[in-house]
Structure 1
């Protein structure tokens, strides 16, 4: 193992030639946060929309409504109040509903901060009765630490299947003729996270200025994109998100852009497929996605046996996103040394750990996310 990410970069691919986030499309260097916000950030965001995640046909629909289906006190041995909320909307192609499950600590002074998980694994991992429990979403542990635990199922927004974008929110909002930069499923799920955020802003029990969005694997990609486009999320968590998530694409080990576009042709926009086996032609790379989260907090987690995601390339994104955080006076990780397993780094608005084990989201991972926020959210 190389001692520094610079050495790893050279050893892995000769020279990755990662784009410099701080140079505008006119070649001007960004030297201040105001310049980043007014000029460069909009450029980078537009590039990701055009070339990777797609352009949404709608943001918050005028038809959006919230129906609190249930409020039940005394859950989790009296430690939490359960809320089940239907977040409904309609468009030219029909109606849709996102079912939000929310546990709010009973004993904490309100409003409380919240962790929102974008759940791909199904309803078994978000049992409202808590008869089935999972390290994937350890709601009890989140509540015990003083945070609300929120979760929604991605299938309520858009099923994870390629049917020419006829189902889910695509069928509800898309025009008949989809342009090559139209949103894919990852973009749709991120849109869904923002609609949940719309509700959390309206719930007086939740501190809407302190909401974290988290995801694992494909929803780790989603969480990063949601955090990039929706600046209301104060904390963005990527767990094992790999290709087109946290990992730098240039010179990446494991999954490539070609492989992800071939296996999951519905995840991204059509323009992205033109970069199959042409990562170096992209005008952006994934460190620039993390940069879009600045100056808010970002945490990237990896696993030792997850070579498909490429943990070092995930860590490298944090290193290369640091200059944007420095525009705001934050040091970022404070190191470019790849850490030993299970030695979390709690930096300045940036966090990281690599867990021993396989591609998964576990109780250990959640403990580190909460520890990070406990320390920085003071």
Structure 2
């Protein structure tokens, strides 16, 4: 199945709407009607080759186009985003293939099946479904591994929970030259694409099947994604690389997730880039050349956050475990929030690391209210987002130390 391609009127409509949005803008006051989102709305943009990247210890300017000019209008963001998309694939995660030749499957009240064919090869996987009380169709949150997320609050807020086993799509414990799972059955076990992007591909195929299902059980235009720890890394990448995802909620994602790559190697106690790259083939193979020299990367995670903008983003981090690099995470959030600010969507991003419980992947009282608020704003359509920056004082990064660019007012 193939999806809608980007049309300029979508860009214009999105940035005049300051209310919450799903895969289409929610019908709230001030919102504009738009055509449905696609997996990658900037796929038709003419992305210029910027040449070999130069070393830069500061965070790259998210508003600086490959041709050396800075964008000045909101209508230019989609193609600038496409440039970041391509750099992130090439240098960090590996390629996410275009939508496959065929995606079929079923949606029931307790399961989703997915069958994919592309390039003459096929694979299948499934996910379980848990519906909230009430009458559907329901929005849904795809929960990586069924682990670490506050699934009770998700359901109580009116959204279904789709429990997704990412290992069925990209298995951990495999060498880089013999990757396994549904993604690699189609694209080859020596693919240079890392597990995080393979898992994101699986999320996109689940959304394909929901779209095909007719919307009797699950809404085709209101999907979120979440997960904790390695699954938080996965949720972060999935939300960045599929613009149909209305709400992205990574939890304690650590190195390889939200924290800036330029910061983690020097953050006391944080997992290094080399350690994260070697622990599992999460990142794309090309990233291995930069684990000791992240300054050579032309992209960083504040721009991956920018790829999510202006859609809903709730980043939850744990400052009590040094390994998780929460200080670098706060810098990423502050930097990415500048993209939201430029697009007039500051309320659509929340970062929360001010928590009392230091246990890894615990369900926390501090996160319950923002979780409910964002589900209501971006999935059920009966709320307004209340963006916040609740940063733990012991892991508070300083964005001014990491940037030499300013945030434009995009016309």
Tell me if both proteins adopt one fold, taking TM over 0.5 as the criterion: yes
Aligned residue among 218, 224, 229 for 1:212:
224
Aligned residue among 62, 73, 78 for 1:21:
62
Please give the TM-score of this superposition, normalised by the length of structure 1: 0.76
> In the TM superposition, what are the counterparts of 1:109-188 in structure 2 within 5 Å?
110-119=136-145, 125=146, 136-163=148-175, 164-175=177-188, 178=191, 182-188=192-198
Higher relative contact order by CA 8 Å / sep ≥ 6: 1 or 2?
2
Work out the CA distance in 1 between the residues paired with 2:201 and 2:369: 26
Look up the SS of the partner of 2:225 in the other structure.
strand
Q: 1:275: which partner in 2?
A: 290
Look up the SS of the partner of 2:317 in the other structure.
strand
> In the TM superposition, what are the counterparts of 1:307-326 in structure 2 within 5 Å?
307-326=322-341
Aligned residue among 72, 77, 87 for 1:47:
87
Look up the SS of the partner of 1:226 in the other structure.
helix
Look up the SS of the partner of 2:271 in the other structure.
coil
Residues 89-142 of structure 1, C-alpha deviation per residue, up to 9 Å, x if partnerless?
Answer: 24568643222111223424x3322211111xxxxx5xxxxxxxxx73554442
Aligned residue among 104, 110, 117 for 1:65:
104
Is residue 31 of structure 1 aligned with residue 72 of structure 2? yes
More strand, by proportion: 1
Please give the TM-score of this superposition, normalised by the length of structure 2: 0.71
Kept in 2: contact 1:88–1:98 (CA 8 A): yes
Residues 212-252 of structure 1, C-alpha deviation per residue, up to 9 Å, x if partnerless?
Answer: 11121222121121111110000111111121211012132
Identify unmatched segments of 5+ residues in structure 1.
Answer: 1-14, 72-81, 120-124, 126-134, 333-347
CA offset at residue 88 of structure 1?
2.0
Q: 1:10: which partner in 2?
A: none
Work out the CA distance in 2 between the residues paired with 1:61 and 1:371: 34
Look up the SS of the partner of 1:251 in the other structure.
helix
Work out the CA distance in 2 between the residues paired with 1:59 and 1:317: 28
Work out the CA distance in 2 between the residues paired with 1:205 and 1:272: 40
CA offset at residue 287 of structure 1?
0.4
Q: 1:223: which partner in 2?
A: 235
Q: How many residues were matched structurally?
A: 315
Q: 1:85: which partner in 2?
A: 112
Kept in 1: contact 2:256–2:283 (CA 8 A): no
Look up the SS of the partner of 2:352 in the other structure.
strand
Runs of 4+ in 1 over 4 A off after TM superposition: 90-95, 175-178
Residues 254-299 of structure 1, C-alpha deviation per residue, up to 9 Å, x if partnerless?
Answer: 11211211222x2222211110210111111110100000110111
Aligned residue among 125, 129, 136 for 1:98:
125
Q: 1:367: which partner in 2?
A: 368
Work out the CA distance in 2 between the residues paired with 1:365 and 1:167: 38
Question: Cα distance 1:88–1:193, how it changes in 2: closer, same or farther (>3 A)?
Answer: same
Identify unmatched segments of 5+ residues in structure 2.
Answer: 1-55, 384-411
